[in-house]
Amino acid sequence: PLNIDNIQADILVGMHKDKELFFFFSINNPVTFKSKLKSDILPLITTTREILAVDTQPVTAAVNIAFSSPGLVNLGVDSNTIGDPDFVAGQFSETGTIGDDPSLWNSAFAGTKVHGVFLLASDTVDNINTELANIQSILGSSITEIHRLQGAARPGSESGHEHFGFMDGISQPAVNGFTNPVLPGQPQVNAGIFLLGEQDDPSQGSRPPWAIDGSFLVFRQLQQLVPEFNQFLTDHPLDTDTLTPEQGSELLGARMVGRWKSGAPIFLSPTADDPELAADPTRNNDFNYIIESAPDPPAENHFNQTRCPFSAHIRKSHPRADVDPSVEHPHLIIRSSIPYGPEVTDAEAASSTTSVDRGLAFVSYQSNVFNGFVFLQNFWINSVTFPFGKVDDTIGVDPIIGSLGGGPKNISGLDPAVPCPDGNDCLGQRDVSHDVVVPRDFVVSRGGEYFFAPSLSGINDIALA
């Protein structure tokens, strides 16, 4: 079994609080920092076991910590020995690979200035600020703030939904020996896909002791242009023969994501939202994109996008039976994101123009930065031909987070009107008039960094390095 007293809370279960602060810092005085890390910070770090039961959760705020590669080097730890070239290179050096425009990055993330991040989670911002003040008084001038991002669940009935309005945090992989119960539709994998040194870690056996049971934390500040996104949906309602314009716009949004705003998967409920399905954890993730009712399901599965576009965000990022489990499992990630920024103002809605920054503080955990985030973003999300082997030569990038340098994205399957009404083989005959052109990116990366979230014993080792 996993040592859940040694694994930081956010990795396997998340902090599950309505407010979460990401506090990015650099380390000025490694000697003082390491001494305080061992004596005063380590006792504050929230473990997986503590977060699981309400009565063991910290009174003020849950605290997790993670270090960038330059941060580890600054502390006297040779980050090369961890065996992850992408982590060592840092996210800023990979903007070309992951499709980011570095000129749009927040200057805090541009370069290698950020040495570490504190994740502070609680029910109130006041509690978070109290804990932050405590940490700052412990560490004093041994650290300098580089950037902070205050995350918050959206208010009222939008709680749990990201800023475009869609329920988030539904589908997560199940970790063998930890996740209980396993829900229908969850892929079941060994802990080493997420935790270093555990079974199925691609570098299991060659990790240094301080890295065991840690995980790479990929952080991304992803701005969302919500009024612009809404205007686009309003301007391009689908299926206007049978639906009202509002319903047609809702359908387009749902097909871009792969779920209705409630969270109901469009593959199971293709024509209208189904809030009951959305609310049922035994059904809301139980699908694999195979059209069982078809006379020849494998063949039909290769051209029929009526139930779910090949490009839908959740299909691009977790293609289920579109690829073999042996191919897909190494690329699973655990997500622990939270929205940031306020609700859309009346003035923004009226002008369809963003003037206040809002978006998603994206967090994913994986045991290998390339296999996880980088692979997903580069080879699946930003690829116009993935899922491969479909009878459609221009599937298009992920309409939510795929990018072709910020410009228009031609996406074939968003309109459920069957591209090839006669069925079997539509290669070369696809009616491009059905393509929906997404004119611009509605999610804009403001940068991020690759971090390593050590185990508690690993933090102790780092403090003694």
Position 259 contacts ligand N7H (CB under 6 A)? yes
Asked if 383 touches ligand N7H (CB under 6 A), the answer is no
382 makes contact with ligand N7H (CB under 6 A): no
Quick one: 98 or 139, whose CB is closer to ligand N7H? Answer: 98
Site for ligand N7H in 92-151 (CB under 6 A): none
Containing 425, the helix (H) or strand (E) segment is: none
Q: How far is 143 from 136, CA to CA, in rounded Å?
A: 8
Residue from 22, 210, 303, 362 in contact with ligand N7H (CB under 6 A): 362
Give the contact letters, 391-430, x = binds to ligand N7H (CB under 6 A), - = no: ---------xx-----------------------------
- Whole-angstrom Cα distance, residue 80 to residue 233? 46
Answer yes or no: are the C-beta atoms of 435 and 413 closer than 8 Å: no
Cα gap 26→74, rounded to integer Å: 9
Helix boundaries (H) for 322-455: 325-328, 346-351, 375
Point out which span in 207-215, 314-322, 386-394, 425-433 binds ligand N7H (CB under 6 A).
314-322
How far apart CA 245 and CA 247 sit, in angstroms, is 5
Residue placing its CB nearer to ligand N7H in the complex, 34 or 255: 255
d(CA 465, CA 448): 26
**Residue 420 beta carbon to ligand N7H: minimum distance, rounded to whole angstroms:** 26
- Separation of alpha carbons 111 and 163, rounded Å: 28
- Pick between residue 305 and residue 317 the one whose CB is nearest to ligand N7H: 317
3-class secondary-structure state, position 123: coil
When binding is defined by CB under 6 A, the residue of 360, 438, 444, 463 that contacts ligand N7H is 360
Please indicate whether residue 241 is annotated as part of the active site: no
Interface with ligand N7H in residues 201-230 (CB under 6 A): 220, 222, 224
Does the protein bind ligand N7H through residue 443 (CB under 6 A)?
Answer: yes
CA dist., res. 162 & res. 171, Å (int): 14
Residue 47 CB, shortest distance to ligand N7H, in Å, is 24
> For residue 445, what is the enclosing H or E element?
strand 443-453
Separation of CA 41 from chain center: 27
Q: Which residues participate in catalysis according to the annotation?
A: 168
Sites of contact with ligand N7H (CB under 6 A): 162, 164, 166, 168-171, 220, 222, 224, 257, 259, 313-314, 317-318, 333, 335, 359-360, 362, 373, 376-377, 381, 400-401, 443
